[in-house]
Structure 1
Amino acid sequence: MSMVLIYALSATIFMMVFLVVGLAYIIKLRRRIYKISQENSSFKTLCDIIKTPIWFKDENLKITWVNKFYAKMFDRSRASIYGLTDKELSPSKLSDGYIRDDLYVKESRKPYVYRENEKSGMWFETTKFPLISDEGNLYGLGGIAFNITAIKKSENLMHSMVYNDYLTGIPNRLFLSVEITKLLSVAKENNTKLAVIGIDLDNFKDLNDLYGHSVGNEILKKTAQKLKLYTSDKGMVIGRLGGDEFVVVIPNVKDDEYINQTCNDVRKLINTFYDICESNITINISVGVSIYPDNCDNYEDLMRQTDMAVHTAKSRGRNCIVFYDEEIGKANFKRINIEINLKPAIENDEFSLYYQPKVSVDGNDILGFEALLRWNSKELGFVSPADFIPVAEQSDLIVSMSDWVMRKAMVQNLKWKKQFGTMYPVAVNLSAKQIHKPDFLSKALKLIEELNYPPEYLNCTPECGHG
C-alpha cells in the first residue's frame, strides 16, 4: 500500500473520529443548554409565585428581568420595565439611594442588606447581591425585598415589653440603665454635664391604702403622662424605676440653675390636683439630684447618689428638693451601717430599757414610768434613738422592736411588784406601723394573758419622739 493511500486512510479515520466526538459534544452541549433553559424557566416560574419583588440588572444597572410582583408594584408591564434604570423608574429621592447601594455591591462584589420604612407604614428588608460568572466576571446584580412589617411589629412589641414600663408605658429601669450609660459616654467626650433627677411620690402607700390600688395606678399613669408631656420637646429622658419612683435625665446641662428650674417645674407640674374617681387628690413629691461629673463619673454611682438625695429629701419632711453632696453620702453610710447592725440586735441582746419616772406636780409621788429604748451595739457602740429609730421605722424592724419593748416593760413591772409589793403604770412608745397592724390588739391581749399582767398598768402611746 502506497504512502499516499495510508495518509488518506488515516485522515479519513481522524475526520470520522473528530466528527463522532464533535457530534457527541454538540449533543451534550445542547442537552446542557436545554437543561439550563429548563432550570432557568423553573427558577423564573418560582420567582413569579413568590409575592415579593425580585429583579435582575446588567452591569450597567439596567433592569433585565423582574417577577410579576415587581411589575405589579409599579403597575406596569414587565416589557415596559426592561432596559430601565432606577432613576427612570423611581423618584430621585429614592433612586439616588438605590443606585448608591448598587454601586457598592458592584464595586465590593459583596451582598448588601438594609431595611427601609415606606410611607404606608410597611417595612421591607432588601438584599442586593452580585451576579458573578464561573470565570469570576461580574455580569449584573440581583435583588429581593421581603415585606417584614409583621416581623417589625413583633420586634417593636418585644422592645416595648423589655424596655417599657408595663403600667405607664414610659421607659423602665433597664432602658434607663442603657440610655444613661450612653449619655454619660457622650458627656465625657463632649466635656458636658449630665443630671439625674429622682422623683418619689410622698405618702403614696397611704394613698394606696386609702383609695385602693386602682386609684394608685391611675396616679402613677397620670404622673408619667405629665412628665412625658413636659419633657417631650426638651431632649430629656424620663423613666419609671418601679413603685412610685420616677427619673428625669437632663443631658448637656448648661448650668446648675437650669437643673434647679427643671426640678421646680416638675414639682409644680405634679403638685396639682389629680381628678381621679371623682376625688381631687393632691400629690407632693420628694426630689433628689445627682450630677456628672460634679458628684461621680459612672451610672451606678449616679443612680445611687440620686436615691440618697431623694431619701434625704424625705427625711427632711418631704415635698422638697435636695442636691447630693458629701455630707449626704456620709449620712447614708451611717444609716446603712445602722440598718445592717439593727437586724441582729435583738438576738444579740443589745437593747435595754431605761425607766423614766413620772412624778406628781409637787414632786413627792411617783405616778408611773416611761420605758425608753436604748441600744448599745457591739459594733457601733452606743447609738442614739434619734439615729436608729427612724431607720427602724422604714422597715418592719420597728414592729419586732416594739414587741420586744412591750414584753420587756411588762415583765419588769411584774418583777417590781414581786420585789417591792407594788406596781406602777408603765408607758411604752409604740410605732404607728405596729399599731396599724391588723393583729396588734389580739397580740397585745394574748401577751397580757400569757404574763397574767393587769392591763390597767400598761399605757401604749404612738411614737412621737425618740426619747
Structure 2
Amino acid sequence: MHNHIHGTYDTLLVVLSYMIAVAASYSALDLAGRVSISKGRHRILWLLFGALSMGLGIWSMHFVGMLALTLPINVLYDMELVLLSVLFAIIVSGIALLTVSRDKLGFKELLTAGILMAIGICSMHYTGMAAMIIKIKYDMALVILSVIIAGTASIAALWLLFYFRKDQSRFAFFYKLGSSLIMGAAIAGMHYTGMLAAQFQPIEGGDFGNGFNIETGSLAYIIVVATFVLLGVTLFGIFINKRFSQKDSVIQENESWYRSLYKNNEYGIISIDTNGIITNINPAAVKISGLHAEEVVNQPISKIGMIISEEEKEKTREEFYQSFEQSRSNFETTIVHPDGRYVELSVVNVPVDIQGKVVGNHIIVKDITEENAVKQKMKHQAYHDELTGLPNRRKFNELLNQAITTREQDPSSFAIMVLDIDRFKMINDSLGHTYGDMFLQGVSNRILKCAEGFEADIARMGGDEFTILCSTGAKGQEAAQLAERILVALQQPFHLKDSEFYVSASIGTALFPSDGKSTVELLKKADTAMYEVKKQGKNGHLFYTPQLDMQLLTNIELESDLRKAIERNELVVYYQPQFHAESNRMIGVEALIRWNHPKKGLLSPGVFIPIAEETGMIFEIGTWVLRKACQQMKQWHDEGGPMIPVSVNLSSHQFHQPHLVEYVQNILQETRLDPQYLELEITESMMMDPTVSINILQELNNIGIRISLDDFGTGYSSLSYLKKFPIHKLKIDRSFITDISESTNDKAIVATIISMAQHLNLDVIAEGIETKEQLEILTQNDCMEIQGYYFSRPLSSKDIENSFFVPSRPMVEK
C-alpha cells in the first residue's frame, strides 16, 4: 500500500501559464503568416526561428504549469529529460509552422499534421513529467483524455493558424486574439489534464541519481518573465519585419504596377534622362517606331529623331526641349517607318519631377494614322456629296463665302451658275433610283471634264441640281463658254439599262458683284435665271437680268392662283378637231386645257403647266381634264354625235401612279363613256422602262382604250420599243411640219415616219398644219389624218358644237 503525495497549485502561476499559452499561440499565428509569405533562405530562417520561439513558448507554459504544483517533498529534475522535452516542443512547433505554410491544406494533410503535433505535445509533456525524480503512477483514463485533448487542440490550432496566417484586415488583431485564447485554453487543458492523471509517490531509499534541485517559486517567475520577453521580442521582430516587408511589398507592388503599365500600355513610352539618353522604351513604342529596343536604349534621343519626317523635324525638336521646363507639351508629328510608311503620331512630353527637379521625361506617343484618316474621311463626307464625290451645299457655301471675302479687296468678278437637269425626274421615276444615281454620276463626270481649263469649283446641291463657281470677266465670257460646253456634253446620249437616254440642262448664271454681293442673293438670282430657261423650253443658258425678278413674282402669283383655279372653275377644256384630209370628215378631237384667269384673261398651257409640274399640281389638273373630256364626249354622243373619240394627254405623274388602269376605268364608269372613244396620248419618255410601261399599256389596251404616241420623232428611245408596245397611232410633232415645205430633211423625216407607221400597221396623224403646202406634202405621202390651224384652232366646247356638230346632225322637226 503506497502513500500518495498530494500537492497544491499556485493559482497565479496557473494563470500565468495560461497567459504564456495564449501569448505563444498569438506568436504562432504571426509566425505562420511570416513563414507563409517568405521565400528561399528567408523562409528557412523564419521557420527555424519561429519553431525555436514557439517551441520555447509552449515548453515554458508546460514547465511553469509543472512548477505551479507544490509537493510536500523536495523534487529534483533530470536535466537530460528536461532538455529532451524542450526539443519535443521545438519539433512540434516546426511541424505546425511547416504545415500551415503550405499554399493549400487538405483534410488528410491537416489530420496527419495534427496527429504528429499531438504526439509531439504528449511526448513533451510526459517526458517533462518523467524528468521529475519522483515516482509517478498515472490514471490511464485521464492520460487518454489528455491525448485526445492534445489531438483535438493540435488540429484546431493548425486550422486556425492556416486560416488566419495572412489576414491583414483591420479586424485581424481581434481574430488572432480570439483564436489565441481558444488555442491557449486547449494547450493548458491538455497539460492540466495530464497533470491530473499523475499520482506522485516518494522514492524509497532516496536514490535521486543525477538530478538537480530547483527552487520552484523563484524559477517559475523567472521562466515566465523570460518567456514573455522572448515572445515579446519575437512579436516585435515580426512587427518590425512586417513593417519593412510591407514597405518593400508596397514598393514592389507599385513597381509591378508601373512595369505592367509601362510594358502593356497601348501607347508607346520612351523614357529619357536630362542628357537626352534613352533609359527605357516599351514594346508599344518599339512596334510604332519599327526600331529594336537594343538599338535605342542607352542611345541619344537623336537616334529616334532620325526617323522623324523632314517636314516635322524642326517643330518636333522645339516641342521636345520645352518638356524640360516643367511644362507638359502636346503636339503631333510624323515619322517614317522602316517599311516606308508614314506614321502620324500624337506626342505628349511629360517631365519626370523628383523633389522639384526635372530628372528626365517620358515621351508618350500614340499612332493616330488611322484616326486621322477617319477624321479626314468624316470631314470629307461632311463637305462632299456621297454619290458623286463633288463638294456639297455646305462646302459650296463655304467656297462662295471665301470667294466673296477674297474679292472685297480684289475687283475681279466670278460667276455663280445653277444647273438643273431637264427630264431627270422622268429617268428616276422610270428606271428607279439605282439607275438615277448612275445617271447623276455620269452627269457629274461630264461637267468636271467640261470644267478642265477653267478656274471653277463644281458642287452638287442635291437631286439633279449642280452649282458652279467660276472665275470670269465682268461680262461673264468664261461662264458663257463653260455653260455652252456643258450643254453640248450633256446632249450626248447616256447608256443606261442597255438603252440610250438623252437629256438636256437648264443653266442660270449670276455675276459678282454686279448681280449681288452675298451668298443668298447670288444663288437666288442664278436660280431665277435657271427657271427662266426652263420656262423658255429648257436646254439653254441665261444670265440673270432684273426683269427676271418681275417674271419670278408673276410665277409666284400664278402658282398661288393656280391652287385655287379648280375650286373656282377657272380651268376650261378646249378642243381641236382632227380631220381626214380627203373627205374633210372629223375623225376626233384633242382635249387641250386653258386657264381663264380672272385678271390675266385666257392663259395657254405653256404659261401654267410648267408651274403645275414643278409644284406637283399636275396630277390633280390632269385628272380634272380627263374627267371633263370624257363627260363632254359622252354628252355629245348622247346628243346625236358624231361618234368620234376624244384624245387626252396623259402626264408622267398620271402614267406612273400605282393604279393607273383602275383610275382610268373609274373615270370611264363615272362618265359612262365607252372605252373605245378614249384615246390617251403618251410621250416617249414614259416608255423608258419597258418592264413597267408595257404592262400598263397592255392593260389599257385590253379594256379598249387606244394609245397614241405624242410628239413622235423628238425623243430618242421610241424606235426600239414600237414593236413591243401596244401603240395604235403615231403623232408627228409640229417641229417637223413647220418647215416641211422648205426643208428637204424635214420632208424626208416625215415621209420615213409615215412609211414606218404604215408598215407597222399603225395610224399616223400630223399636227401643226397651217398651210396648204404642208397639207399637200403630207397627203402625197399618204398621211390622211390632219390636225392644225389650217382646219381649225382649238375651240370651246360650245363653239365646237355649233361649228361642227350641230350642222351635221339631222334636222328635228319641231
- For the criterion TM > 0.5, the same-fold answer is yes
Inter-CA distance 427–33: structure 2 relative to 1 (3 Å threshold) = same
How far residue 228 of structure 1 moved from its aligned partner, in angstroms, is 4.2
Q: Match for residue 258 of structure 1?
A: 478
Letter in 1 for 2:596: W
Q: Match for residue 517 of structure 2?
A: 297
How far residue 99 of structure 1 moved from its aligned partner, in angstroms, is 0.5
Letter in 1 for 2:570: F
Q: Match for residue 570 of structure 2?
A: 351
How far residue 373 of structure 1 moved from its aligned partner, in angstroms, is 2.9
Q: Match for residue 217 of structure 1?
A: 437
| The one of 96, 99, 119 aligned to 2:317 | 99
Aligned partners of 2:451 and 2:482 also within 8 Å? no
1:126 matches 2:342: no
The structure showing larger relative contact order (alpha-carbon pairs under 8 Å, at least 6 residues apart) is 1
How far residue 147 of structure 1 moved from its aligned partner, in angstroms, is 1.8
1:17-96 pair list within 5 angstroms: 39=254, 42-59=257-274, 61=276, 63-71=278-286, 73=289, 75-78=291-294, 80-82=296-298, 84-86=300-302, 89-90=305-306, 93=310, 94-96=312-314
> C-alpha separation between the residues in 2 aligned to 1:408 and 1:267?
40
**Partner SS, residue 450 of structure 1:** helix
Q: Match for residue 267 of structure 1?
A: 487
Higher Cα radius of gyration: 2
Aligned partners of 1:71 and 1:78 also within 8 Å? no
> C-alpha separation between the residues in 2 aligned to 1:297 and 1:116?
42
Q: Match for residue 506 of structure 2?
A: 286
1:241 matches 2:457: no
Inter-CA distance 50–163: structure 2 relative to 1 (3 Å threshold) = same
How far residue 338 of structure 1 moved from its aligned partner, in angstroms, is 1.8
How far residue 75 of structure 1 moved from its aligned partner, in angstroms, is 2.9
**Partner SS, residue 239 of structure 1:** strand
How far residue 146 of structure 1 moved from its aligned partner, in angstroms, is 1.1
> C-alpha separation between the residues in 1 aligned to 2:413 and 2:255?
63
Q: Match for residue 168 of structure 1?
A: 388
Letter in 2 for 1:397: M
> C-alpha deviations, 1:212-247, integer Å up to 9, x for none?
654443332222234445557866433322332223
Aligned partners of 1:68 and 1:78 also within 8 Å? no
Inter-CA distance 140–262: structure 2 relative to 1 (3 Å threshold) = farther
Letter in 1 for 2:306: S
> C-alpha separation between the residues in 2 aligned to 1:213 and 1:308?
28
Identity level (%): 19
Q: Match for residue 171 of structure 2?
A: none
Aligned partners of 1:313 and 1:321 also within 8 Å? yes
Q: Match for residue 595 of structure 2?
A: 374
> C-alpha deviations, 1:297-327, integer Å up to 9, x for none?
3333333333333322232233222222222
> C-alpha deviations, 1:186-226, integer Å up to 9, x for none?
44465554433233333234445666654443332222234
> C-alpha deviations, 1:271-309, integer Å up to 9, x for none?
434455554544433222233333223333333333333
> C-alpha separation between the residues in 1 aligned to 2:514 and 2:614?
30
Letter in 1 for 2:329: P
Q: CA RMSD in A?
A: 4.7
Q: Match for residue 384 of structure 1?
A: 603
How far residue 331 of structure 1 moved from its aligned partner, in angstroms, is 1.7
Aligned partners of 1:202 and 1:283 also within 8 Å? yes
Inter-CA distance 223–60: structure 2 relative to 1 (3 Å threshold) = farther
How far residue 442 of structure 1 moved from its aligned partner, in angstroms, is 5.0
How far residue 426 of structure 1 moved from its aligned partner, in angstroms, is 9.8
> C-alpha separation between the residues in 2 aligned to 1:355 and 1:426?
15
How far residue 416 of structure 1 moved from its aligned partner, in angstroms, is 9.0
Q: Match for residue 535 of structure 2?
A: 315
**Partner SS, residue 291 of structure 2:** coil
> C-alpha separation between the residues in 1 aligned to 2:645 and 2:571?
15
> C-alpha separation between the residues in 2 aligned to 1:232 and 1:134?
66
**Partner SS, residue 246 of structure 1:** strand
Aligned partners of 1:274 and 1:281 also within 8 Å? yes
* Unpaired runs of at least 5, structure 1: 1-27, 361-365
Q: Between 184-193 and 314-323, report the one with greater CA deviation.
A: 184-193
Q: Match for residue 424 of structure 2?
A: 204
Inter-CA distance 154–326: structure 2 relative to 1 (3 Å threshold) = same
Aligned partners of 1:111 and 1:130 also within 8 Å? no
Aligned partners of 1:290 and 1:305 also within 8 Å? yes
> C-alpha separation between the residues in 1 aligned to 2:503 and 2:675?
41
**Partner SS, residue 113 of structure 1:** strand
> C-alpha separation between the residues in 2 aligned to 1:57 and 1:190?
53
Q: Match for residue 330 of structure 1?
A: 550
How far residue 346 of structure 1 moved from its aligned partner, in angstroms, is 2.1
Inter-CA distance 166–110: structure 2 relative to 1 (3 Å threshold) = same
The count of residues paired between Structure 1 and Structure 2 equals 430
Q: Between 159-168 and 407-416, report the one with greater CA deviation.
A: 407-416
How far residue 249 of structure 1 moved from its aligned partner, in angstroms, is 2.6
**Partner SS, residue 391 of structure 2:** coil
Inter-CA distance 139–185: structure 2 relative to 1 (3 Å threshold) = farther
Letter in 1 for 2:572: L
**Partner SS, residue 327 of structure 1:** helix
> C-alpha separation between the residues in 1 aligned to 2:507 and 2:676?
46
Letter in 2 for 1:114: E
Aligned partners of 2:277 and 2:300 also within 8 Å? yes
Q: Normalising by the residue count of structure 2, what TM-score does the alignment of the two structures yield? A: 0.44
> C-alpha deviations, 1:411-444, integer Å up to 9, x for none?
67888999xx766789686454477456566545
> C-alpha deviations, 1:108-157, integer Å up to 9, x for none?
9243232648562543322234444554x555443211123443444345
* Unpaired runs of at least 5, structure 2: 1-242, 580-585, 682-709, 712-766, 769-792, 795-814
Q: Normalising by the residue count of structure 1, what TM-score does the alignment of the two structures yield? A: 0.71
> C-alpha separation between the residues in 2 aligned to 1:333 and 1:113?
57
Letter in 2 for 1:309: A
Aligned partners of 2:326 and 2:358 also within 8 Å? no
Q: Match for residue 329 of structure 2?
A: 111
> C-alpha separation between the residues in 1 aligned to 2:626 and 2:500?
40
> C-alpha deviations, 1:40-93, integer Å up to 9, x for none?
564244212235421234456554443344356353445754351437841572
> C-alpha deviations, 1:333-357, integer Å up to 9, x for none?
321232233223323x151537689
> C-alpha separation between the residues in 2 aligned to 1:30 and 1:230?
82
Inter-CA distance 442–289: structure 2 relative to 1 (3 Å threshold) = same
**Partner SS, residue 508 of structure 2:** strand
> C-alpha separation between the residues in 2 aligned to 1:47 and 1:264?
66
Letter in 1 for 2:595: R
